[in-house]
Amino acid sequence: MDNPNFECIRHDIINPIYLEVDQIYNLACPASPVHYQVNPIKTIKTSVMGAINTLGLAKRVKARILQASTSEVYGDPEIHPQTEDYWGRVNPIGIRSCYDEGKRAAECLMMDYHRQNGVDVKIARIFNTYGPRMAVRDGRVVSNFIVQALKGEEITVYGDGSQTRSFCYVEDLVEGLIRMMNSPNGFTGPVNLGTPQEFTIMELAKTLIRMTASSSRIVFKPLPQDDPVQRRPDIALARERLGWEPRVALADGLEKTIDYFRKVV
Ligand code: UDP
Ligand code: UDP
């Protein structure tokens, strides 16, 4: 904020924006299910109209554009781990589709602007990411469990906790995004960015109870509709094309995240 070359502009990306820029990171869109489902129409507008406007901008000023896509484009996957050439299994009319289909449409727009107008596009598919400075009420599993454990509240496991996710520390993810943005001309991706170590949600709950020395007990809540059963990225492409892989082990990343939440809850 103190850097004289930094300018922060508040703008809703569903409306056009005229700027002079070299690189555009289109990260707009809430990513936590509870947040993106509050106003699903706004969520899909953000992804679709946001992609159109940022692509129109990229085309006009000849900027490179990176789209933050998501492992959600794979939906509830039938192949494991997920590789970029897998087309996914997404419910087009479910409560997650405002996010999943919005991001899929954004990928489609990126590739069409690339093929039709020669826009220099980059697509990164981000898998579950966590770390310090997540909102206390973010609603995703890592922050929920840490906040519940620190407050001695019940740990809310949805379903039986056997569903899996693979968690990436925020610093690793940011490094991956920057490498993707600055990757060679013509490499559009999509490329998976995530950590290829998979944990059940129950394992995560137990790990966090232990790490916080919490007295919280685990309670089971209904599994949300269309909640993916299993998710793990194949990151061979990111390794090969970006020389990237995550460096921070889950235990270290969780430790830093717990330290952060101790200060704010
Ligand atoms: N756009 C923008 N900033 C720009 C250029 C375009 O926000 O600097 C928006 C504008 O709303 C436009 C959209 O991006 O409708 C798509 O641009 P494109 O040039 O593809 O479409 P067109 O202007 O031909 O409809
Ligand atoms: N989850 C849970 N308890 C919570 C929040 C999430 O058991 O308090 C589960 C959720 O059902 C899902 C997994 O944890 O299976 C990851 O959920 P999250 O919302 O973090 O991200 P998703 O990968 O589903 O977008």
Q: Cα(234) to centroid of ligand 1, in Å?
A: 35
Enclosing domain of residue 185: 23-264
Q: Would residue 14 count as lying in a domain?
A: no
Q: Assess if residue 1 is contained within a domain.
A: no
Q: What is the pTM of this model?
A: 0.97
Q: How far is the CA of 57 from the centre of ligand 1 (A)?
A: 6
Instruction: Tell whether 93 is covered by a domain.
Output: yes
Hey, which of 96, 141, 143, 162 would you mutate to test ligand 2's pocket, going by the most ligand atoms within 8 Å of its Cβ? 141
Closest CA to 259 of 134, 127, 129: 134
Taking only the tens place, the pLDDT of each residue in 74-85 is 999 999 999 999
List of residues 6+ apart from 51 with CB closer than 8 A: 26, 67, 105, 106, 109, 110
- The Cα 63–Cα 154 span in angstroms is 48
Q: Is residue 7 part of a domain?
A: no
Whether 232 is covered by a domain: the verdict is yes
User: Does 70 sit in the ligand 2 pocket, CB within 6 Å?
Assistant: no
Residue 59 clears pLDDT 90, i.e. is over it: yes
* Annotation marks residue 99 as catalytic: yes
The string of pLDDT tens digits covering residues 187-202 is 999 999 999 999 999 9
CATH number (domain holding residue 163): 3.40.50.720
Residue whose pair of structure tokens reads 């419910």 in the numeric block: 91
How does pLDDT run across 114-171, given as a tens digit for each residue? 999 999 999 999 999 999 999 999 999 999 999 999 999 999 999 999 999 999 999 9
* Domain annotation covers residue 6: no
- 1 confidence band (pLDDT: 50, 70, 90): confident
Which pair of tokens denotes residue 110?
């990126």
How high is the pLDDT of residue 175? 98
Q: Dihedral through CA 141, CA 47, CA 76, CA 70, nearest 10? A: -70
In order of 43, 65, 161, 261, the CA distances from 54 in angstroms are 16, 8, 39, 34
- Whether the pLDDT of residue 72 is over 90: the answer is yes
Q: How many domains does the chain have?
A: 1
Task: Flag whether 47 is in a domain.
Answer: yes
Distance 141 CA to ligand 2 centre (A): 5
- The predicted-structure confidence for 78-116, as pLDDT tens digits, reads as follows 999 999 999 999 999 999 999 999 999 999 999 999 999
